């Protein structure tokens, strides 16, 4: 199809060389500017990350050093002979001034050299012996508990950073050092005789260390945090928010981009997130080794990228100037050709208008053909329900000419029943704007009636007033006929179902008759023959006794046959109670119940790992009981009977197989194996009624599976069955 856009044709006829040159130059200028800014942005980001990582490692190392120094001080005091000796003397002589003087002098030295806020000494009775400074003697409940624990454990303890309950607003960290007695000749054990409490002021060194930043920055800062239950707690004072130490805390959420939370939940290294102000930051996070603390070194993203914004603005201006200059140059050259091209374009436009008019008329004809020859009916109704448009399909259904239908009310061609429906639905349709799947009946010009399904939407003006409908109708005469046929079939199906239920009831009555009426004479034969055998055996010769045994054995066989037939009949009617089955446990249970029948035989059961199955446990148990019993029976003459049970999953089936090394069978008769009363061996060789494998097949078929067998005479047999793989059933 030719290009019908005059302006597009006009553009295509302009100089491609000028356009190409302009585009290539503009793209090149833009690309250079973009990659220049991208390179600077990347370098700024890398530089910021390297700085954060370096500062984070440095801060963590300094904190670890400070923390270790505090513990070193405590270890030094733990082994200080002067304090131990003074405490021992004081314990023996509470009023000895010399010991008190030594303690005072030593505690003043500790306060001065170890930069402690306070130093307190307690004896083994938790009584305060001395404090330095002397006027600061308070201890809170937390400190008292630590003092008692230190005396009991005899080792150095540290209380983490905490808000003092005695001096509101003060943050402390306490170290508790046990004063342990020296060994003597009479007592070789070391006992705690006192506790030295060192109150560390983190504002003196730790917090300034954390808050300092080695380079000039408007937003960068370091945070020390820890995890308390389901919260992350900020331990130090912050740069952008005051009075926050041990007071500012956030709940730990499952998904959070708070750097402090990421740190306490195990993340390390460089991350992006929103800080406690809700500002985008880049941070280096990680634990402080040897402490319960985590360090966050962060800086605002705006600070990292702010120098780029000015550079980006200048670059964009330069790019725009260059592109604009290029455009002016190309435009000037372009302008020279405009006059000639404009004249030619005008002629071309006139030709295009003519072509477009012809094409439009053709399209209107195609649309009209589609409208009139559609497989469904189309019509439009005005606000009074009169036809303003109707397609040929609907006209053919009705038998009217178009001139007869235009202006005619649709109400007049409805059946009385449909007229009532229309009177209710049409006003609602004009309000709602649509109607869906309305079941109506139309009257043809010849007076006959046919059913339709009507769907319609309303066309409204800008003020929402109804103008006309856009309606489709479908002749559902055939659908109605099919519906009646379905109703007839359903009635027939119901009748057949009732007949089947009657047959099942007759089958149940027959089963009852077999169970009671047929077994009754058999029980009599068995009972009286047993009496003859027990009470009159001496009156029979050998042939008589043999015949009597034949009678008894035949009665037992007949009774077993009737029982097996009843089981086979019940299995066809029994309800299925499906569940997940551990097939390994089921096979072991079946095997254990059959072990008593082995009577000293050597049988090797090779049970491979079996996949789970979904079915009726009792019925599947019956399947394996029959298959394993058959394997035991037909391996009777083998020196060592081998029975292998294995399973596998193939596609949408789980397949289970029972193999043996018994007498096997001729594959020519494999199709007879699963038929009732079909036996490949005489009763003299192997006992049985010929029902077991038929029962196996019936059970597996009821589960939607299949059963088959393979064998070779003298080399054994294998029986397999499959069950459907069922997913989303009780956890499968």
Partners of 457 in beta bridges: 434, 470
Higher per-residue confidence, 471 vs 184: 471
Range in 186-190, 401-405, 416-420 with the lowest mean pLDDT: 186-190
Q: Which residue do the tokens 């057949």 mark?
A: 496
* CA–CA distance, 425 with 417 (Å, rounded to integer): 13
pTM over the 0.85 mark:
no
What residues contact 550, with CB distance under 8 A and at least 6 apart?
A: none
Q: CA–CA separation, 202 vs 162, rounded Å?
A: 10
With bands split at pLDDT 50, 70 and 90, how would you rate the model's confidence at 728? very low
Q: Is the pLDDT of residue 160 over 60?
A: yes
Strand order in the sheet with 707-712: 603-607, 641-650, 653-660, 716-724, 707-712
Which pLDDT belongs to residue 457?
A: 94
Tokens standing for residue 242: 């005051």
* 306-332 per-position pLDDT tens digit: 777 677 677 777 777 777 777 676 666
Q: From 565, 657, 581, 655, select the one nearest 618 (Cα to Cα).
A: 581
Q: Residue 162 pLDDT more than 70?
A: yes
Residue 34 has pLDDT above 90, yes or no: no
In this structure, whether the domain defined by 575-724 belongs to CATH 3.30.565.10 is answered with yes
CA separation for the pair 460, 55 (Å, rounded): 70
Question: Do the two domains 373-475 and 575-724 of this chain adopt the same fold?
Answer: no
- Residue 672 DSSP one-character state: G
Cα–Cα distance, 600 to 596 (Å, whole number): 9
Taking residues 567-588, report their average pLDDT.
79
- In the structure, what pLDDT confidence band is assigned to residue 470 with cuts at 50, 70 and 90? very high
DSSP 227-294: EETTEEEE-S--SSSSS-TTT-EEE--SS---HHHHHHTT--EEEEEE-TTS-EEEEEEEE-TTSS-E
pLDDT reading at 417 higher than 90: yes
The H or E element that residue 451 is part of is strand 449-460
Domain ranges of the chain: 7-333, 373-475, 481-550, 575-724
**Per the structure block, which two tokens stand in for 108?**
């003043």
Residue 686's pLDDT band (boundaries 50, 70, 90)?
A: very low
Say whether pLDDT at 36 is over 70. no
Q: Which range is least confidently modeled, 137-151, 335-349, 465-479, 485-499?
A: 335-349
Is the bond into 133 cis (omega within 30 degrees of 0)? yes
Residues 6+ apart with CB under 8 A from 53: 269, 270, 284
Instruction: Summarize the confidence of residues 458-478 as an average pLDDT.
Output: 92
Task: Give the Cα separation of 706 and 711 in Å (integer).
Answer: 17
- Residue 321 CB neighbour total at 10 angstroms: 11
Q: Which residue has the higher pLDDT, 51 or 514?
A: 51
Nearest Cα to Cα of residue 404 among 387, 385, 416: 387
DSSP structural state of residue 119: E
pLDDT the model gives residue 682: 45
pLDDT, residue 715, reads: 82
Mean pLDDT, residues 461-481 taken together: 91
CB 246 within 8 A of CB 15: no
Q: Which CATH number fits domain 7-333: 3.30.450.20, 3.40.250.10, 3.40.50.2000, 3.30.470.10?
A: 3.30.450.20
Identify the pLDDT of residue 447.
92
373/434: higher pLDDT: 434
Which pLDDT band holds residue 234 (cuts at 50, 70, 90)?
A: very high
Residue 533: C-alpha distances to residues 497, 521, 529, 693 (Å): 52, 18, 6, 35
Model pLDDT, residue 515: 54
Question: What local confidence, expressed as pLDDT, does residue 116 receive?
Answer: 86
User: What is the SS3 assignment for 157?
Assistant: strand
Highest mean pLDDT among 28-42, 464-478, 653-667: 464-478
Helix (H) or strand (E) holding 397: helix 392-398
Q: What is the pLDDT of residue 18?
A: 60
Considering only the C-alpha atoms of the chain, give the largest distance between any 2 of them, rounded to a whole number of Å: 142
CA distance linking residue 436 with residue 420, whole number of Å: 17
- 176: CB partners within 8 A, 6+ apart: 146, 147, 149, 150, 156, 157, 158, 159, 195, 196, 197, 198
- Per residue in 12-24, pLDDT (tens digit) is 555 566 667 667 7
Confidence of residue 1 (pLDDT cuts 50, 70, 90): very low
Q: What is the mean pLDDT of the chain?
A: 81
In this structure, the dihedral spanned by the alpha carbons of residues 225, 226, 231 and 237, taken in order and rounded to 10 degrees, is -30
Strands (E), 142-182: 157-163, 171-180
3-state SS record for 452-483 = EEEEEEEEECCCCCEEEEEEEEEECHHHHHHH
Residues 6 or more apart whose Cβ sits within 8 Å of residue 466: 383, 430, 458, 459, 460
CB burial class (10 A; 0-12, 13-18, 19+) of residue 514?
A: middle
For position 722, what pLDDT does the model report?
Answer: 93
What are the CA-CA distances from residue 537 to residues 105, 522, 552 (Å)? 121, 21, 13
- Model confidence over 517-575: pLDDT tens digits? 666 676 666 677 777 777 777 777 777 777 777 677 666 656 665 666 666 566 666 67
Between 526 and 400, residue with greater pLDDT: 400
Q: What is the pLDDT of residue 561?
A: 59
What was the pLDDT predicted at 16? Answer: 67
pLDDT of 719 higher than 50: yes
709, 721 contact by CB (below 8 A): no
CA-nearest of 597, 571, 596 to 687 is: 597
What is the number of H-type helices and E-type strands within the chain? 17, 23
Confidence (pLDDT) at 448: 93
Pairwise pLDDT comparison (675 vs 194), residue with the higher score:
194
Asked whether the beta carbons of 232 and 203 are under 8 A apart, the reply is no
The arithmetic mean of pLDDT across residues 437-448, rounded, is 93
**Segment of 145-149, 519-523, 696-700 carrying the highest mean pLDDT:** 145-149
Number of residues in the chain: 732
Confidence of residue 102 (pLDDT cuts 50, 70, 90): confident
Architecture of domain 373-475: 2-Layer Sandwich (3.30)
Looking at the DSSP bridge assignments, the partners of residue 329 are none
Helix (H) or strand (E) holding 453: strand 449-460
Judge whether residue 76 has pLDDT over 60.
Answer: yes
CA-based nearest residue to 456, from 491, 429, 418, 419: 429
Residue 5 in this model has a pLDDT that exceeds 60: no
Q: Give residue for tokens 């000796």.
A: 85
Angle (nearest 5°) at CA 260 between 169 and 156: 60
């Amino acid at each position: 199809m030719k290009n019908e856009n005059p302006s597009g044709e006009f553009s295509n006829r302009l100089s491609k060389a000028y356009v190409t040159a302009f585009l290539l130059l503009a793209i090149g200028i833009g690309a250079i500017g973009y990659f220049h800014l991208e390179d600077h942005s990347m370098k700024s980001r890398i530089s910021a990350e390297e700085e954060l990582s370096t500062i984070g490692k440095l801060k963590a190392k300094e904190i670890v050093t400070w923390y270790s120094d505090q513990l070193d001080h405590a270890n030094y005091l733990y082994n200080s002979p002067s304090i131990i000796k003074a405490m021992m003397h004081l314990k023996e002589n509470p009023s000895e001034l010399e010991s008190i003087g030594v303690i005072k002098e030593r505690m003043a030295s500790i306060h001065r050299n170890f930069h402690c806020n306070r130093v307190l000494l307690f004896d083994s009775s938790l009584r305060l012996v001395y404090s330095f400074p002397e006027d600061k003697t308070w201890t809170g409940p937390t400190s008292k508990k630590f003092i008692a624990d230190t005396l009991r454990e005899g080792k150095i303890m540290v209380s983490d950073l905490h808000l003092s309950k005695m001096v509101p607003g003060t943050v402390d960290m306490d170290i508790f050092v046990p004063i342990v007695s020296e060994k003597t000749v009479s007592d070789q054990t070391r006992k705690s005789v006192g506790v030295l409490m060192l109150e560390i002021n983190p504002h003196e060194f730790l917090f300034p260390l954390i808050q300092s930043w080695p380079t000039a920055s408007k937003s960068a800062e370091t945070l020390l945090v820890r995890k308390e239950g389901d919260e992350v707690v900020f331990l130090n004072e912050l740069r952008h928010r005051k009075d926050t130490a041990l007071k500012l805390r956030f709940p730990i959420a499952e998904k959070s981009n708070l750097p402090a939370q990421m740190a306490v939940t195990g993340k390390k290294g460089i991350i992006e997130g929103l800080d406690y102000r809700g500002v985008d930051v880049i941070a280096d996070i990680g634990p402080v080794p040897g402490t319960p603390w985590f360090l966050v070194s962060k800086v605002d993203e705006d600070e990292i990228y702010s120098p780029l914004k000015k550079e980006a603005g200048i670059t964009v201006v330069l790019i725009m100037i260059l592109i604009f200059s290029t455009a002016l140059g190309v435009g000037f050259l372009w302008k020279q050709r405009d006059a000639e091209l404009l004249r030619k374009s005008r002629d071309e436009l006139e030709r295009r208008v003519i072509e477009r008019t012809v094409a439009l008329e053709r399209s209107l004809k195609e649309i009209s053909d589609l409208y009139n020859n559609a497989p469904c009916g189309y019509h439009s109704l005005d606000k009074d329900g009169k036809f303003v448009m109707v397609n040929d399909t609907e006209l053919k259904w009705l038998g009217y000419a178009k001139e007869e239908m235009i202006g005619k009310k649709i109400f007049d061609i409805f059946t009385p029943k449909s007229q009532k429906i229309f009177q209710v639905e049409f006003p609602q349709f004009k309000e709602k704007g649509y109607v869906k799947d309305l079941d109506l009946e139309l009257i043809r010009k010849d007076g006959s009636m046919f059913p339709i399904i009507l769907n319609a939407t309303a066309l409204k003006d800008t003020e929402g007033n109804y103008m006309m409908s856009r309606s489709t109708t479908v002749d559902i005469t055939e659908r109605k006929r099919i519906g009646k046929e379905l109703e007839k079939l359903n009635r027939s199906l119901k009748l057949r179902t009732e007949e089947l239920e009657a047959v099942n009831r007759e089958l149940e009555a027959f089963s009852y008759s077999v169970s009671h009426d047929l077994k009754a004479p058999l029980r009599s034969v068995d009972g009286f023959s047993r009496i003859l055998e027990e009470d009159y055996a001496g009156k029979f010769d050998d042939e008589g006794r043999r015949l009597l045994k034949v009678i008894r054995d035949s009665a037992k066989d007949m009774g077993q046959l009737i029982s097996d037939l009843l089981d086979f009949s019940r299995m066809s009617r029994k309800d299925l109670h499906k569940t997940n089955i551990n097939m390994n446990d089921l096979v072991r249970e079946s095997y254990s119940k059959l072990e008593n029948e082995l009577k000293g035989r050597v049988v090797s059961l090779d049970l491979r790992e079996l996949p789970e199955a979904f079915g009726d446990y009792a019925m599947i148990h019956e399947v394996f009981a029959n298959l394993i019993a058959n394997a035991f029976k037909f391996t009777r003459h083998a020196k060592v009977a081998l029975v292998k049970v294995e399973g596998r999953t193939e596609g949408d089936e789980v397949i289970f197989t029972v193999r043996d090394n018994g007498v096997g069978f001729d594959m020519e008769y494999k199709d007879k194996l699963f038929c009732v009363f079909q036996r490949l061996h005489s009763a003299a060789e192997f006992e049985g009624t010929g029902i077991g494998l038929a029962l196996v097949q019936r059970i597996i078929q009821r589960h939607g599976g299949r059963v088959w067998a393979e064998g070779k005479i003298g080399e054994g047999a294998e029986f397999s069955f499959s069950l459907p793989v069922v997913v989303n059933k009780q956890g499968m």
